[in-house]
């Protein structure tokens, strides 16, 4: 799966500038932007501030907190000048997205304290699309952004939003700016960058709906894989995750994680949950390794890491796993990770780990 974040961001910025350029002769300072408290001009400057903030964090590999600087416009800068700043800062973020290695993450508070290049691209796209919509409403314009740019954002940072009939109305509904038939109005919302957990030799990277969809149809999901690539279980798990997303049942931290080896940034397998915790606090977990990575303890290391994260949550009381009777390797992994066999028959063995 190719890194298209820069391209989608360029499209979003170009569409925004093209629309707003038709109204640069209007008074942006005296007109409020849609339902915001800001003026149209303040909102446009905010877009540029987001772009330069995201680009600087990503390019600077900022691990925690914000950089202590901002942007300011020269006195007398008109609306056309503001648009040029938006275009220029959007170009900076697009360039940073293109140039940043896949594994790099930088600080963003919502909700897991970091984002990768796809996350920053999706956040930038969301900022420019939504705030251009706000400005357009204030100025009495109609905005219809590129569908591919909208879909890029939805499938990267809105994994809990069930797809609607079209991407743009879905994003507007998800951010409290529109309505969708059969869905309650949204009054509070938050985007979700993927959760990442670390162990000694591995990084467990939460798989986005976009990556899952690519894996399910035979792609690489945006990862470089060890050996012969994803094993059958990973592709099946990705397909299940896509179905959960399409049905609106996916919860960001309860999906699938790619197991990426730190030393060479190669994905060696996947591990994940079958869904969020049940009412009794039990959650089922499964895993899969490429053949070339088996026998090195990666599955045990990842299972210990993901189990510890899950059991530290108040809504989880136990983890559950199933394995075929003949799969002794998987049974040894579960035993080393602290699981206890609680049931066995001719078809499967069941294991549990309690908090």
- Looking at the domain assignment, is residue 183 inside a domain? no
Question: Model pTM?
Answer: 0.96
Nearest-angstrom CA–CA distance, 126 and 130:
6
Does residue 186 fall inside a structural domain? no
Domain count, the chain: 2
Are the beta carbons of 292 and 283 closer than 8 angstroms? no
Same domain, 109 and 219: no
Q: Are 249 and 240 in contact (CB under 8 A)?
A: no
Q: Is residue 191 part of a domain?
A: no
The span from the CA of 82 to the CA of 85, in Å, is: 5
**So what's the pLDDT on residue 283?**
97
Distance separating alpha carbons of residues 244 and 166, to the nearest angstrom = 18
Based on the domain organization, do 235 and 155 belong to the same domain? Answer: no
Structure tokens at 216: 């399910």
Question: Tell me, what CATH number does 14's domain have?
Answer: 1.20.120.450
| Paired tokens of 340 | 């206890």
Tell me which of 142, 174, 206 is where a domain ends: 174
Q: Does 115 share its domain with 29? A: yes
Nearest to 118 by CA among 189, 270, 222: 222
285 DSSP β-pair partners: 273
Asked whether residue 333 falls in the same domain as residue 241, the answer is: yes
Does 169 reside within a domain? yes
CATH classification at residue 238? 3.40.630.30
- 233 and 111 share one domain: no
Is the same domain home to 205 and 169?
Answer: no
pLDDT of residue 11: 98
Same domain for 323 and 202: yes
Whether residues 235 and 344 share a domain: the answer is yes
- Domain match, 134 and 282 both: no
The answer to whether residue 189 sits within a structural domain is no
| Co-location of 41 and 127 in the same domain | yes
Domain that holds residue 114: 5-174
Q: What pLDDT shows up at residue 276?
A: 95
Q: Is residue 30 part of a domain?
A: yes
The three-state DSSP-derived secondary structure of the chain is CCCCHHHHHHHHHHHHHHHHHHHCCCCCCCCECCCCCCEHHHHHHHHHHHHHHHHHHHHCCCCCCCCCCCCCCCCCCCHHHHHHHHHHHHHHHHHHHHHCCCCCCECCCCCCCCECHHHHHHHHHHHHHHHHHHHHHHHCCCCCCCHHHHHHHHHHHCCCCCCCCCHHHHHHHHCCCCCCCCCCCCCCCCCCCCCEEECCCEEEEECCHHHHHHHHCCCCCCCEECCCCCCHHHHHHHHHHHHHHHCCCCCHHHCEEEEEECCCCEEEEEEEECCCCCCCCEEEEEEEECHHHCCCCHHHHHHHHHHHHHHCCCCCCEEEEEECCCCHHHHHHHHHCCCEEEEECCCCEEEEEEC
Q: From the first residue on, what is the mean pLDDT of each consecutive set of 10 residues in the chain (355 residues)?
A: 97 98 97 96 98 97 88 94 98 98 95 97 98 98 98 98 98 97 96 97 98 98 96 95 97 96 98 96 96 96 98 97 95 97 94 95
185 in a domain, yes or no? no
* 145/252 same-domain check: no
Query: Has residue 254 been placed in a domain?
Result: yes
* Torsion sign across C-alpha atoms 258, 106, 222, 121: positive
User: How many CB atoms neighbour CB 278 within 10 A?
Assistant: 14
Same domain, yes or no: 217 and 140:
no
**Whole-number Å distance between alpha carbons of 158 and 248:** 11
């Amino acid at each position: 799966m190719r890194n298209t974040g820069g391209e989608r961001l360029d499209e979003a910025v170009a569409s925004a500038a093209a629309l707003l350029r038709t109204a640069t002769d209007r008074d942006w300072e005296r007109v409020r932007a849609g339902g915001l408290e800001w003026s149209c001009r303040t909102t446009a400057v905010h877009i540029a501030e987001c772009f330069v903030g995201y680009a600087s964090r990503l390019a600077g590999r900022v691990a925690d907190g914000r950089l202590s600087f901002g942007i300011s416009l020269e006195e007398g800068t008109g609306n056309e000048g503001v648009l040029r700043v938006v275009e220029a800062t959007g170009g900076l973020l697009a360039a940073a997205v293109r140039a940043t290695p896949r594994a790099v993450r930088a600080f963003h508070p919502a909700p897991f304290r970091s984002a990768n290049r796809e996350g920053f691209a999706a956040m930038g796209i969301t900022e420019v699309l939504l705030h251009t919509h706000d400005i357009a409403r204030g100025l009495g314009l109609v905005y219809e952004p590129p569908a591919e740019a909208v879909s890029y954002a939805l499938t990267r940072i809105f994994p809990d939003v069930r797809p609607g009939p079209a991407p743009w109305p879905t994003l507007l509904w998800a951010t409290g700016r529109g309505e969708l038939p059969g869905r309650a109005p949204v009054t509070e919302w938050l985007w979700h960058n993927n959760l990442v957990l670390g162990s000694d030799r591995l990084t467990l990277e939460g798989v986005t709906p976009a990556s899952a969809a690519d894996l399910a149809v035979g792609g690489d999901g945006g990862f470089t894989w060890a050996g012969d690539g994803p094993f059958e279980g990973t592709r099946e798990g990705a397909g299940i995750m896509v179905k959960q997303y399409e049905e609106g049942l996916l919860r960001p931290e309860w999906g699938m994680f790619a197991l990426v080896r730190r030393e060479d940034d190669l994905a060696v397998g996947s591990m994940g949950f079958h869904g969020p915790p049940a009412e009794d606090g039990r959650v089922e977990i499964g895993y899969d390794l490429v053949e070339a990575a088996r026998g090195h303890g990666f599955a045990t290391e990842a299972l210990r890491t993901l189990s510890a994260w899950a059991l530290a949550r108040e809504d989880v009381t136990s983890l559950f796993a199933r394995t075929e009777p003949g799969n002794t390797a998987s049974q040894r992994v579960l035993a080393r990770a602290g699981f206890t066999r609680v049931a066995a028959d001719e078809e499967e063995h069941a294991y549990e780990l309690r908090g």
